[in-house]
Amino acid sequence: MKNLVLVGFMGSGKSSVARRVAPQLEFEMIDSDSLIERRAGLSISQIFETRGEEHFRRLEEQIMTELADRNRLVIATGGGAVLSAVNWANWRRSAVVIALDVDSETAFERTRHHQHRPLLQGEDPLAKIQHLLAQREDFYSRADARVDTVGRTVEQVARDVLDLYERRVAD
């Protein structure tokens, strides 16, 4: 069975939804940020700080390349993983890609009390979110299907994701 890859902006709920969907499919859940942190022995913030964003993006690509050779995985990606052509090539051959959609205000509300996202640590995180979301919209729209998460529970979103995945793999 093809992997299920969840893409979407920071605060769209990728990890929570992946955690809920994986047992229902009897797939393994992989959080790519956590895997990168475990392997590097550093937090995402430390990687950005000491080695830079470019280095982080290469680590992310390495993980996606490895995971594309496996199956029965639900993969929660980092919000910027969609920027890489290498990642898309790997997902296209191995996965159904579902985007979780969120608007800027909701992303802001869901992320404002967390300090672990280096891209949102500046003076005006809402403006940064608006800017990045606009920049990335084209990339999220490449997904096989999209699910709105605004005003919806993890359970509701997970049900839609499961449904879309099953329809896609049946095609």
Q: Are 10 and 120 in contact (CB under 8 A)?
A: yes
Does residue number 10 form part of the binding site for ligand S3P (CB under 6 A)?
yes
Span near ligand S3P by CB under 6 A; candidates 76-84, 102-110, 142-150, 156-164:
76-84
Q: Is 64 in the site for ligand S3P (CB under 6 A)?
A: no
Q: Which stretch binds ligand S3P (CB under 6 A): 17-25, 100-108, 114-122, 154-162?
A: 114-122
Give the nearer residue to ligand S3P in terms of CB position, either 27 or 80: 80
CB closer to ligand S3P, 78 vs 87:
78
> Torsions phi, psi of 159, nearest 5?
-65, -45
Q: What sign does the CA torsion over 114, 117, 118, 124 have? A: negative
- The Cα–Cα gap between 100 and 93 comes to 20
Asked if 13 is part of the footprint of ligand S3P (rule: CB under 6 A), the reply reads no
| Contact yes or no for 77/14 (Cβ under 8 A) | yes
How much of the chain is helix, strand and coil, in % rounded to 5? 60, 15, 25
Question: Which range binds ligand S3P by CB under 6 A, 63-71, 85-93, 116-124, 146-154?
Answer: 116-124
* Chain residues in the site for ligand S3P (CB under 6 A): 10, 14, 33, 44, 78-80, 117-119
